[in-house]
Chain A
Amino acid sequence: EVQLVESGGALVQPGGSLRLSCAASGFTLSNYWMSWVRQTPEKGLEWVANIKQDGSETYYVDSVKGRFTLSRDNIRNSLFLRVNSLRAEDTAVYYCARGRFRGGATYFDLWGLGTLVTVSS
């Protein structure tokens, strides 16, 4: 079955860190751009980061630059998001998504169920 399964979400204190993981199955991860998108009831859907098939290019939303790092392991069919210096406003459900490159960037044709990150003291 073609799917993405996220893990690693947790309750963490402000300033803390987490490593989110996304396991891909049913397709060859190395053929696709991959992304993280987060969602809150207040702000809706917010794109977080993209990574090219071979990991040679990464892009981030300004609010996470310098704090989040996106990486991938195509051999293990996995995607990772290292999140540091967490803030209350990073609280969200984080989705892993498969990207299709068109025009200047990507749209998402497959999404995981998400993992919840809660930043609170």
Chain B
Amino acid sequence: DIQMTQSPSSLSASVGDRVTITCRASQGISDYLAWFQQKPGKAPKSLIYDASRLQSGVPSRFSGSGSGTYFTLTISSLQPEDFATYYCQQYRTYPLTFGGGTKVEIK
């Protein structure tokens, strides 16, 4: 199975900060990497697929990059509604696997 490792597991940031979350795959997954946002009690929301493609309706302050085993999710200017937990997911092969999550908290 492909292991997905996210870092950090949590971070504190202020509104307006630039935030970067990393996701590493235990083996190469090309660009078959998605990012999700989840708020407490809410359904996960898809943000990015194919490592860098923004889902329709997702603000442009979100961006993704990477290929192979190393990926990043960047929020260029953190907004109040962005405080949430973020997950990566690989879909190169079964079983589909997720990172452990990064909780973004208010500083």
- Closest chain-A Cβ to B30's Cβ sits at a distance in Å of 7
Q: Which segment, of B44-52, B64-72, B75-83, faces chain A?
A: B44-52
Main secondary structure of the interface of B (DSSP, over half): loop
CA distance A20 to B43 in the complex (A): 17
What's the A-B contact tally at a CB cutoff of 8 Å?
71
B43 touches A113 (CB 8 A): yes
Does A102 make an interface contact (CB < 8 A)?
A: yes
Number of interface residues of A (CB under 8 A): 25
Does A108 make an interface contact (CB < 8 A)?
A: yes
B95 touches A45 (CB 8 A): no
B91: chain A residues at CB < 8 Å are 102-107
A95 touches B94 (CB 8 A): no
The residues in A between 87 and 121 inclusive whose CB is less than 8 angstroms from any CB of B are: 95, 97, 100, 102-114
CB-nearest residue of chain A to B98:
A45
CB-nearest residue of chain A to B46:
A109
A47 touches B98 (CB 8 A): yes
Does B92 make an interface contact (CB < 8 A)?
A: yes
A27: chain B residues at CB < 8 Å are none
B100: chain A residues at CB < 8 Å are 44
A residues neighboring B (CB under 8 Å): 35, 44-47, 50, 59, 61-62, 95, 97, 100, 102-114
What are the nearest 8 A-B pairs in CB distance? A47-B96, A107-B34, A45-B98, A103-B32, A111-B43, A105-B91, A111-B44, A109-B46
